[in-house]
Amino acid sequence: MATGRIVKVAGPLVVAEGLTDAKMYEVVRVGKERLVGEVIVLDGDLASIQVYEETAGLGPGDPVEGTGEPLSVELGPGIISSIYDGIQRPLEAIQARWGAYIRRGVEAAALDRTKKWGFTPKVKKGDAVSAGDILGIVQETTLVEHRIMVPPGLAGTIEEIRAGEFTVEETIGILKDAQGKRHELKMMQRWPVRRARPYTEKLPSTELLTTGQRIVDTLFPLAKGGTACVPGPFGSGKTVIQHQLAKWADAQVIVFVGCGERGNEMTDVLMEFPELEDPKTGEPLMKRTVLIANTSNMPVAAREASVYTGITIAEYFRDMGYSVALMADSTSRWAEAMREISGRLEEMPGEEGYPAYLGSRIADFYARAGRVICLGSPRREGSLSAIGAVSPPGGDLSEPVTQNTLRLVKVFWGLDANLAYRRHFPAINWLTSYSLYNDDLIPYFEKHVGAEWNLLREEFMRLLQIEAELEEIVRLVGVEALSPSDRLKLEVARSIREDYLMQSAFDDVDTYSSLSKQLKMMQLIWRFYELGQRAIEQGVAIQKIIELPVRERIAKAKFIPENQFEQSFREIDRQIQGEFESLLAGGAYAARVH
């Protein structure tokens, strides 16, 4: 491999000459410390390289060496529960070797080379296999069975397959291809991060990704394999909602990419997830989670790569037939990293200085989500749901990253500073947000929760719309000018907002609501509304209805644990009926009161 020489250093960008056989996106080693870089422009004899580490100390004349390989990730047992930097260096191993600060030039393999994994074959000698076929399994964690697959591009017959304890580099079998060439099979494969991993066929997304977040599941649901974005100004709750999804979404594998955000937020996940239990299995959530961390003070070029590193790992688990959810917090930092590199390359800037290819990069990223029939046998379905936070400057959604994202994703959870200011969380604006999966998921809800879900959902949306219109009137003439029926609508809409949509991520009980709890909570609110309207028709004073003691119980229903909910729900429901009955019986009629 030819060795080149640096001619220019400008921040994360290095230009080298003499790298005669360099390829685009090839990984190179820069300087005496052999920093990792990637060729991003080739122009005559000059190669522009983005360097994934601090470039201080590099200068003209320093060597640059090609590796012949594109930027790739290592895929195999040992990924789950790890925390990696943007180019898949394991941060735990780095701390063990180099201490608390990330030095330049540190090197550590993504997958531990010494750890042995128990491998159980699922094929036998003589089997014909092709790319994606499951060769065998490794119980990687209590939650994830790692399925070792024939790497894309390979096919033939199994000449040998072994059971037992192996490291990721040891040979677990031999495959003979059609040309008679023998290939050693290992548990580890590599894949270039900028290339989507292949699958057999894409399928429509018709299954709910249950999140346990009421406003999400009820009003703006996400389908497995779907795409969503969460734009919002600082402090509006982007990170918390993504953490909530990482905790409670019913995906089998979670990949969380901390892209250019706070160090403490990654630490938070690292410390909290091992303590939290998966609601289904009771196992620690960390056992299905992979973290990619390039915090805001880490090198900017690696931030650009981190999103690709994350989605490639996510695709790999999708290929095993799992439902995978990836969260990227925040895609704006990724776009800004692109902008910074593009600026250093002196490319022609597009809107707000972003490169002209911003839109296509964002599109390529979200296109890697989806529900698919995986490559290989046995036949299996996998899904990759992608959720990206967007951090628009000044909270203004007209900026390029938000706009390009909105063109692609199907769910928009718009966060609203005003809701956040009044501590209404999740601060998802119910009037502007949308989910394009709503219609596709109607049959799903009908089958798994009941037809009433879809009806109540529509009624809730309708009341919230009406509320917005009524609020306009109230602002002009005051609340006393409304009819009793409209006042009840306002009250119930408020109850929907405060008692149902508001959900504290930090309350042990409220943090997660099952679909059946969600349905029952909706039923309680709706029961109150219907009986209320009926009482008004019979002349009961609105004030009496507003003051019914049961409203406090409805409001606090969210704090009732799942295992007690069934019973409490029946009690509250009975109390609603009872209180309305005594209102009518007690003669609390408007006419008599006035």
Ligand X SMILES: Nc1ncnc2c1ncn2[C@@H]1O[C@H](COP(=O)(O)OP(=O)(O)OP(=O)(O)O)[C@@H](O)[C@H]1O
Choosing from 29, 214, 238, 243, the residue that interacts with Mg ion (CB under 5 A) is: 238
Q: Label residues 82-98 b or e (16+ Cβ within 10 Å = b).
A: bbbbbbbbbbebbeeee
Restricting to residues 217-276, name those near ligand ADP by CB under 6 A: 232, 234-240
Establish if 418 lies at the interface with ligand X (CB under 6 A).
yes
Tokens, residue 369:
């989500």
Establish if 424 lies at the interface with ligand X (CB under 6 A).
yes
For residues 296 and 293, give the distance between their C-alpha atoms in angstroms, rounded to a whole number: 9
Establish if 358 lies at the interface with ligand X (CB under 6 A).
no
Number of residues that bind ligand ADP (CB under 6 A): 14
The CB-of-285 to Mg ion minimum distance in angstroms stands at 19
Element (DSSP H or E) covering residue 417? helix 417-421
- The smaller minimum CB distance to Mg ion, of residues 238 and 288, is found at 238
Establish if 300 lies at the interface with other proteins (CB under 8 A).
yes
Residue 429 contact, options ligand ADP, ligand X, other proteins, none, Cβ 5-8 Å cut-off depending on partner type:
ligand X
Span interacting with other proteins, options 273-281, 304-312, 336-344, 368-376, rule CB under 8 A: 336-344
Site string (448-477) toward ligand X, x via CB under 6 A:
--------------------x--x------
Establish if 549 lies at the interface with other proteins (CB under 8 A).
yes
Closest CA to 344 of 5, 9, 46: 9
Establish if 289 lies at the interface with ligand ADP (CB under 6 A).
no
Count Cα neighbours of 180 within 13 Å in the Cβ-side half-sphere: 0
State the amino acid at position 211 in one-letter form: T
To the nearest 10°, report the CA torsion of 65, 70, 76, 79: 80
* Residues paired with 72 in a beta bridge: 192
The CB-of-83 to other proteins minimum distance in angstroms stands at 6
Residue reference for tokens 């809730």: 460
- The smaller minimum CB distance to other proteins, of residues 137 and 417, is found at 417
Establish if 224 lies at the interface with Mg ion (CB under 5 A).
no
C-beta separation of 125 from 159 below 8 A: yes
Span interacting with Mg ion, options 233-241, 375-383, 415-423, 574-582, rule CB under 5 A: 233-241
Choosing from 48, 50, 55, 242, the residue that interacts with other proteins (CB under 8 A) is: 55
> Computed over its alpha carbons, how large is the radius of gyration of the chain?
28
Establish if 425 lies at the interface with ligand X (CB under 6 A).
no
Choosing from 430, 500, 512, 528, the residue that interacts with ligand X (CB under 6 A) is: 430
Strands 13-17, 182-186: pairing kind? unpaired
Number of neighbouring beta carbons within 10 Å of residue 113? 12
Distance between first and last Cα of the chain: 94
Establish if 243 lies at the interface with Mg ion (CB under 5 A).
no
The CB-of-546 to other proteins minimum distance in angstroms stands at 9
Establish if 499 lies at the interface with other proteins (CB under 8 A).
yes
The CB-of-511 to ligand ADP minimum distance in angstroms stands at 8
Choosing from 340, 416, 499, 579, the residue that interacts with ligand X (CB under 6 A) is: 416
Specify whether the backbone of 292 is left (phi greater than 0), alpha (psi in -120 to 50) or beta.
beta
Residue 416 contact, options other proteins, ligand X, ligand ADP, none, Cβ 5-8 Å cut-off depending on partner type:
ligand X
Cα separation values, 22 from 79, 402, 420, 455, Å: 30, 35, 50, 60
Backbone angles phi and psi of 26, in degrees to 5: -75, 145
- The smaller minimum CB distance to ligand X, of residues 326 and 493, is found at 493
The CB-of-53 to other proteins minimum distance in angstroms stands at 10
- The smaller minimum CB distance to other proteins, of residues 552 and 566, is found at 552
Establish if 422 lies at the interface with ligand X (CB under 6 A).
yes
Site string (477-516) toward ligand X, x via CB under 6 A:
-----------------x--x-------------------
Backbone angles phi and psi of 480, in degrees to 5: -65, -20
Establish if 429 lies at the interface with ligand X (CB under 6 A).
yes
Establish if 416 lies at the interface with other proteins (CB under 8 A).
no
- The smaller minimum CB distance to ligand ADP, of residues 55 and 391, is found at 391
Q: How far is CA 563 from the centre of its chain?
A: 28
The CB-of-559 to other proteins minimum distance in angstroms stands at 7
Q: How far is CA 49 from the centre of its chain?
A: 30
Q: How far is CA 424 from the centre of its chain?
A: 22
Restricting to residues 418-457, name those near ligand ADP by CB under 6 A: 425-426
Number of residues that bind ligand X (CB under 6 A): 12
Site string (480-519) toward ligand ADP, x via CB under 6 A:
-----------------------xxxx-------------
Number of neighbouring beta carbons within 10 Å of residue 110? 25
Span interacting with other proteins, options 36-44, 91-99, 281-289, 578-586, rule CB under 8 A: 91-99
The set of residues, in sequence order, having a beta carbon less than 8 Å from that of 527 and lying 6+ positions away, is: 573, 576, 577
Number of neighbouring beta carbons within 10 Å of residue 60? 13
3-state secondary structure 207-254: CECCCCCHHHHHHCCCECCCEEEEECCCCCCHHHHHHHHHHHCCCCEE
Which residues bind to ligand X, rule: CB under 6 A?
A: 416, 418-419, 422, 424, 429-431, 468, 471, 494, 497
Which residues bind to ligand ADP, rule: CB under 6 A?
A: 232, 234-240, 425-426, 503-506
